[in-house]
Chain A
């Protein structure tokens, strides 16, 4: 047994040990602190503001999560259909492998968090439930679960989509010194782009295999197709004794206190003369005091690359698949202790979840193509 095994044991059991997320609400109720602030104005990064209903946000957040999943599935399916001749994703499709420095980390953070923020914008999209059977669906007995899944579908799409997440420097704007355009290809083959304007604060610098590496923090604004969000991040590596630990996170706020954060867990650990490297990303969505964490990893299963999401004891694995000449996203895993499997068809304008008993569930699909970003750019 290694220390790593102990860490894994502790981490796997954390859900059973950590305090209930509802405790904060209980305390507030006992103290007479109003849990609902109702309609309020949310300050945006650019100084603007937007109306927001906290209660609606919380409810919609769950729905959006599910919708995002459905959306991602919908996006993925059409792309797969178009590209039925494509070989299965290989290790080359592992987009984590290209994240090696501050620039690539922030680009990944902007792309992935941006995709989730865009999905949030679609939370209000109408979900059409087309169950052909009664609610005997084991897989969808809790709509909130699917909403949660949906919240990550855009992210899944960005990770399973063909091509790399790319970035290019642009001029700074909005009083920020630097600019970066990040883009990726979604499952329909469309290019999704976001723009980030930011300032840098150098933490330290050094040389790695002859190349100068700079660690720096950023603060700025991320522009997506549906809004602008204050962002901040840190890219820092620290070494102590024989252990190297990194502090790598990127966060975008959608209100003064609420945010989506991606944190890279990348620890080099030396034990018994061997060094092991683990790389995974933890996404934290904090809204209204509630915190939800999801770990995202790539896994290689029978030479095919899969994306695995783990959250609160649930685990889902997403894989592109071709069925009857149609490209789909096959999903399997466990939710609330039960095994689930379903297929996501990506269609124009909607995602269709198809469950093992033949029932389906559809959500509107928000198209986030390059044009949206171009319009935003013109606005500046």
Chain B
């Protein structure tokens, strides 16, 4: 991630240049999205929260301290909204339809099995790193920049996440066998 250019675009957006949005969104949306997805475990909700995160952040762009980690700031906002969503959802009494959506064909937001497993067995940072490296296609160096971590840490956590997933799947396979 080109931090200098990102900061420049943020400044342009703050000054009313809407064309800067595409660059900012392109550079940051995946890390925010996976941070949110880990919490809500539902693609549709994660997308809604991602949208809300950007709208809220950009409306309050003056609160961002220039030169600090913008992606980190967005992630913090996204996580906050996601946690509130989960808290609110836990208080709601689901209808039969909602609770048994899988029976009624409500599968458009259902995540593939391996992603459910990943959210279940991985720590949040392991999950985010794995998703950014293996799903979003970022290089470890880019992820290291994005999450402000040493590349060695990203490599270690990525490998650790793969190992955990592999062990879980092998165990599941053995149990089924």
Contacts and interface: CB of A to CB of B under 8 A. Distances in A.
Interface of A: 1-3, 5-7, 9-11, 13-14, 16-20, 23-24, 26-28, 30-31, 33-34, 37, 238, 240-241, 243, 245, 247, 257, 282, 286, 288-289, 291, 293
A291 B26 contact: yes
A1 B25 contact: no
B135 A14 contact: yes
Contacts of A16: 43, 111-112
Contact of B166 (A3, A26, A37, A247): A3
Listed from nearest, the 3 A-B pairs whose CB atoms lie closest are A33-B18, A289-B22, A13-B112
- Looking at chain A's contact residues, the main secondary structure is mixed
Q: How large is the interface on B (under 10, 10 to 19, 20 to 34, 35 or more residues)?
A: 35 or more
B72 to A, nearest CB: 19
B165 to A, nearest CB: 5
B155 interface: yes
A55 to B, nearest CB: 15
A17 B54 contact: no
Contacts of B112: 13, 16-17
B21 interface: yes
Interface in B82-124: 111-112, 114-115, 118
A59 B118 CA distance: 38
25 contacts: A1-B170, A2-B166, A3-B159, A3-B166, A6-B134, A11-B134, A13-B114, A13-B135, A16-B43, A17-B37, A18-B33, A18-B136, A19-B30, A19-B43, A20-B47, A23-B51, A24-B21, A27-B51, A27-B55, A30-B51, A31-B55, A31-B59, A33-B18, A34-B18, A282-B137
Given A3-B162, A7-B162, A9-B114, A245 B139 contact: yes
B40 to A, nearest CB: 13
